[in-house]
């Protein structure tokens, strides 16, 4: 059992009033000085653990944005579509209204250009004059006919990318925005990870290459919803025909949008078509009616426009 032992404190000498006054003044000055330095810490000292003697605090990484919301209950019934993968999304809320194998990874052809355009709009001023590299002129398949070393404002190339779907436009914009095509492809994949697109990987800036260039209906809908936040993107993908002035000897060009829904479906306002032998017919469609917007994606479809119409009609009827 422990007993408490009281120790006698040594007697203290009585201090003179002057000594007590001096101690009080010095203590007050110390408090004032401490408060001054505590509230006027320099940014460097505040950020340095050594300066403060406090262990660094590791903040959580920035959360991946939630672009699409899963349906609260399993989806049954709905429209019949020929596409191997498809999805219908409320553009305003991100709610998934209908889906068919939404996470199946598939080649996506020229719908790849949605990501290319989104990155270009973020990284390249549209009034920048782009010098067309020789490799852009040699890009296979769909080309608008850019000439080597000609100088073209970026906004004209963006029109060619999204309206005409020029692969040479995609190459020229990628090099202008990132310095080289491989660097731009790396940025595309970094952006995909930042947006939480888990079914997506890019090896092409245009979609002309199928190998290793794939996504899913879910990811394309999420990417499109993100891209549509940009007013210039919305305006461009909704354009049916663009008349563009050009330097000599061309003088003028006319871009005709390949998206037939813009001319045949009420409220249609985008977004992008695509086709290769392996990818089949792909379509990302957007439409607005009565203040409500919908995004429909169909991949490898026997009739992409019929499939998209059925999805959009289903959504607007709900």
- Which of the residues are catalytic? 110, 113, 165
Kindly report the number of other CB atoms within 10 A of residue 117's CB atom.
24
Q: Can you tell me which residue has the tokens 């270009």?
A: 120
The burial of 214, by beta-carbon neighbours within 10 Å (0-12 exposed, 13-18 middle, 19 or more buried), is given as: buried
Give the C-alpha separation, 212 to 106, whole Å.
Answer: 10
For residue 233, CA distances in Å to 168, 197, 207, 236 come to: 19, 20, 18, 5
Closest CA to 271 of 288, 249, 247, 250: 288
The burial of 138, by beta-carbon neighbours within 10 Å (0-12 exposed, 13-18 middle, 19 or more buried), is given as: exposed
The helix (run of H) or strand (run of E) holding residue 316 is helix 304-317
Question: Are the C-beta atoms of residues 264 and 283 closer than 8 Å to each other?
Answer: no
């Amino acid at each position: 059992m422990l007993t408490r032992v009281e120790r006698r404190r040594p007697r203290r000498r009585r201090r003179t009033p002057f000594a007590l006054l001096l101690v009080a003044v010095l203590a007050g000055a110390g408090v004032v000085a401490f408060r001054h330095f505590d509230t006027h810490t320099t940014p460097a000292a505040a950020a340095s653990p050594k300066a403060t003697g406090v262990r660094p605090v590791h903040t959580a990484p920035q959360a991946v944005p939630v672009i699409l919301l899963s349906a609260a209950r399993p989806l049954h019934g709905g429209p019949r579509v020929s596409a191997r993968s498809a999805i219908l999304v409320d553009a305003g809320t991100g709610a998934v209204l209908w889906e068919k194998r939404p996470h199946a990874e598939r080649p996506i052809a020229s719908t790849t250009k949605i990501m290319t355009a989104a990155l270009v709009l973020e990284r390249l001023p549209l009034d920048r004059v782009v010098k067309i590299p020789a490799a852009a002129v040699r890009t296979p398949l769909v080309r608008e006919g850019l000439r080597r070393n000609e100088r073209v404002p970026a906004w004209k190339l963006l029109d060619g990318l999204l309206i005409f779907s020029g692969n040479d436009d995609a190459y020229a914009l990628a090099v202008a925005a990132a310095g080289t095509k491989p660097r731009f492809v790396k940025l595309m994949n970094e952006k995909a990870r930042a947006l939480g697109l888990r079914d997506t990987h890019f090896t092409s800036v245009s979609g002309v290459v199928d190998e290793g260039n794939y996504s899913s209906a879910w990811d394309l809908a999420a990417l499109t919803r993100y891209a549509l936040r940009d007013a210039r993107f919305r305006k461009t993908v909704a354009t049916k025909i663009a008349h563009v002035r050009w330097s000599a000897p061309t003088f003028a060009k006319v871009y005709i949008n390949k998206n037939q829904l813009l001319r045949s479906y009420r409220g249609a306002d985008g977004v992008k078509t695509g086709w290769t032998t392996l990818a089949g017919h792909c379509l990302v469609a957007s439409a607005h009616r009565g203040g409500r917007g919908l995004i429909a994606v169909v991949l490898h479809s026997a009739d992409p426009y019929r499939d998209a119409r059925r999805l959009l009609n289903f959504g607007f009827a709900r």
